[in-house]
């Protein structure tokens, strides 16, 4: 990637940080900046963005790690004015294979071939979708539970559209996850749908919401564990 730029370096660094805020840990559904997974971010005098990512443990799943590094490269490469992008994962058992594969724009299977990780049997599209579906369910809990706590009945909830729900960061994120899954997310779309976009009826609502709650509890628990492990590992 080679472009010319008159953009001030401080502006470019800010742009890189903003780009990294769009990169998520697929399991935790949180961005790598808020999780403190960005060890460093800088732009050299020759216009190359250097990003170093870190994870809570040395043996974090390589497929998750690959997704984050590849997504970070894609996001940062869109920042105007950079001459090149250098994104690396540090302190991880598969970092050499992951970093080389992402730099070469190779897929996960090619990147893992012959590595210490072993042979990968498939790319990661299915894994990404699976975790986006889980994020949709967890997001449903975050949006619907406050409505019901405020007095909304099950009958009202199943009849609600997204446009009838008060604006919030949780609602915005739920819309984003639905769009990623090609599920309608406009104001007139039903509020409660399953991970393939089917409307959830009154009879199915209680079980659906219990599942949604369990996903959100899992996200909260895993996030707490990961934050604690990261802090212990790096003395944060």
pLDDT value of residue 3: 37
More confident: 2 or 178: 178
Of 138, 218, 211, 210, the closest CA to residue 178 belongs to: 138
Tell me if 170 sits within 8 A of 138, measured CB to CB. Answer: no
**Per-residue model confidence as pLDDT tens digits over 93-151:** 999 999 999 999 888 888 888 666 655 556 788 999 999 999 999 999 999 999 999 99
Tell the burial category of 219 from Cβ atoms under 10 Å away from its Cβ (0-12, 13-18, 19+): buried
Each residue's pLDDT tens digit, 154-212:
999 999 999 999 999 999 999 999 999 999 999 999 999 999 999 999 999 999 999 99
Kindly state the percentage of the chain with pLDDT values over 90: 85
Domains of the chain: 9-123 (3.30.300.130), 126-225 (no CATH)
Distances 62 to 57, 59, 68, 200 between C-alpha atoms, Å: 11, 8, 10, 35
> Looking at residue 5, what is its pLDDT?
44
């Amino acid at each position: 990637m080679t472009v010319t730029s008159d953009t001030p370096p401080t502006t470019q660094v800010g742009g890189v940080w903003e780009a990294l805020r769009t990169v998520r840990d697929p399991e935790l559904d949180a961005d790598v900046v808020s999780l403190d997974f960005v060890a460093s971010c800088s732009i050299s005098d020759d216009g190359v963005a250097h990003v170093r990512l870190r994870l809570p443990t040395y043996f974090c799943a390589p497929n998750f790690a690959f997704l984050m590094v590849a997504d970070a490269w894609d996001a940062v490469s869109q920042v105007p004015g950079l001459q090149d992008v250098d994104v690396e994962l540090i302190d991880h058992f598969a970092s050499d294979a992951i970093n080389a594969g992402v730099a070469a724009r190779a897929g996960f299977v090619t990147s893992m071939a012959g590595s210490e990780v072993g042979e990968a049997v498939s790319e990661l599209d299915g894994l990404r979708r699976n975790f986006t579906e889980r994020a949709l369910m967890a997001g449903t809990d975050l949006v619907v539970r406050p409505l019901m706590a405020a007095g909304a009945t099950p009958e009202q909830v199943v009849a609600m559209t997204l446009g009838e729900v008060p604006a919030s960061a949780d609602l915005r994120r739920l819309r984003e996850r639905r769009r990623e899954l090609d599920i309608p997310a406009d104001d007139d779309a039903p509020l409660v749908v399953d991970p393939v976009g089917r409307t959830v009826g009154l009879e199915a609502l209680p079980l659906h919401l219990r599942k949604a709650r369990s996903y959100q509890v899992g996200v909260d628990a895993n996030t707490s564990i990961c934050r604690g492990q990261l802090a212990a590992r790096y003395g944060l």
